[in-house]
Amino acid sequence: MQFIYPRSGGHDMLILNCPYCGIDADETDLHSGGQAHLKRETIGSQDTDFENYLFNRDNPMGVHFERWRHANGCGKWFLAARDTTTLEVFATYPAQTLKPPQAVVNAIKKKHPDWKGWP
């Protein structure tokens, strides 16, 4: 698996590197899909499970894992680790991962030792 650590999004434009086509995509090329790594519920799940899956969100101030779509580009969904306060981008990585890869977690912890970490 390949990890890409792009430069910071800066404060004028959020820029994420698409892990599929490899280009630095401006936010005008992208569509945000909200919180990543949600557990999908299905037949047999309880109402509260569906509520948690469909509606309730961690909404953290700081490190956030998100789904993004390279909408005006290659069209692929990918994931990003980002800071919602500084708008700093830690990493982008392919969507086919159930939890943040260890290398991404390490990269975040290196910059933010007080981050509580991935559960």
Partner 1 sequence: MRYSALKVFTQGLTGNKGWRPVWRNPDPKPEYDIVIIGGGGHGLSTAYYLAKKHGLKNIAVLEKGYIGGGNVGRNTTIVRANYFLPGNSEFYSHSMKLWEGLSQDLNFNVMLSQRGVISLFHSDGQRDAFVRRGNAMINQGDDAVLLDRDGLQKMLPYLDYDNGRFPIYGGLLHPRGATARHDGVAWGYARGADQRGVDLIQNCEVTGIDIVGGKVTGVQTTRGAIRAKKVGIVVAGRSGQVAEMAGMRLPIESHVLQAFVSEGLKPAIDHVISFGMGHFYISQSDKGGLVFGGDLDFYASYAQRGNLPRKEQVMEAAMTLMPMIGKAKVLRSWGGIMDMTPDGSPIIDKTGTDGLFIDCGWCYGGFKAVPGSGDAFAHLIATGQPHETARGFRLDRFRTGQGIMDEEGTGSQHNLH
Can you give the binding site for partner 1, defined by CB under 8 A?
11-14, 26-28, 32-35, 47-48, 50-52, 54-61, 64, 66, 84-87
CB-wise, 51 or 102, nearer to partner 1? 51
CB of 43 to partner 1, least distance (A): 16
How far, in Å, CA of 33 to CA of 10, rounded? 21
For residue 45, the minimal CB distance to partner 1 (Å) is 12
| CB 107, min distance to partner 1, A | 19
Nearer to partner 1, 69 or 105 (CB): 69
Rounded distance between C-alpha atoms, residue 109 and residue 76, angstroms: 28
Alpha-carbon separation of residue 6 from 11, 19, 47, 114, 116 (angstroms): 15, 10, 39, 22, 23
Using the minimum distance from each CB to partner 1, give the nearer residue, 47 or 114.
47
The secondary element (H helix, E strand) that includes residue 67 is strand 63-69
